[in-house]
């Protein structure tokens, strides 16, 4: 069982919220960063076949569900969504870098206003060899 108190909790997802000027600035900055990154990517030379295969190897690994933490997030657009990140990320910023795409309205980027970790995507598998907490019964 994972200790959720180790993870950042920001705001109250059950309470109404109002966007602040800080949220507005963060959303505008995220948009500017995204646009700049797109411009830089368009100017970059095409990847070589060896680079494509190396990137596929590095990024093609699927993280096992028992290593993923589920987060409930309130986004700039007002939607509350569930996203996952690796369980080693204990803060919203390290898990999502401050924004994510909203699957409901497609706002991308959508600044994360509030959020909380809610549990692993899946329970870890049992240790090999069965439950190690049990003492084997003696032959009678």
pLDDT digits (tens, 9 = 90+) for 58-115: 999 899 999 999 999 999 999 999 999 999 999 999 999 999 999 999 999 999 999 9
Range of the domain at 103: 19-34+62-122
| Residue 4 counted as domain residue | no
Residue 135 has pLDDT above 80, yes or no: no
Q: What gap in Å lies between CA 99 and CA 33, rounded to an integer?
A: 11
Classify 116 as helix, strand or coil: strand
The domain tally of the chain equals 1
Higher pLDDT, residue 130 or 33: 33
CB contact set of 86 (below 8 Å; sequence gap of 6+): 63, 67, 68, 69, 95
| Residue 87 counted as domain residue | yes
Residue 132 has pLDDT above 90, yes or no: no
What are the distances in angstroms from CA 15 to CA 8, 12, 55, 75, 85? Answer: 18, 6, 42, 14, 24
Q: For the chain, what percent of residues have pLDDT higher than 90?
A: 80
């Amino acid at each position: 069982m994972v200790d959720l108190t180790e993870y950042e909790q920001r705001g109250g997802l059950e309470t109404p919220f109002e966007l602040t000027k800080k949220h507005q600035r963060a959303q505008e900055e995220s948009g500017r960063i995204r646009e700049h990154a797109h411009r830089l990517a368009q100017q970059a030379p095409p990847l070589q076949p060896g680079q494509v295969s190396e990137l596929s190897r590095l990024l093609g690994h699927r993280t096992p569900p028992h290593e993923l933490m589920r987060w409930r997030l309130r986004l700039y657009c007002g939607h509350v969504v569930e996203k996952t990140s690796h369980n080693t990320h204990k803060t919203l910023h390290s898990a999502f870098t401050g924004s994510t795409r909203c699957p409901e309205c497609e706002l991308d980027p959508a600044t994360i206003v509030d959020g909380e970790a809610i549990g692993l995507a899946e329970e870890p598998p049992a240790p090999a060899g069965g439950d190690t907490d049990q003492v084997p019964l003696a032959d009678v």
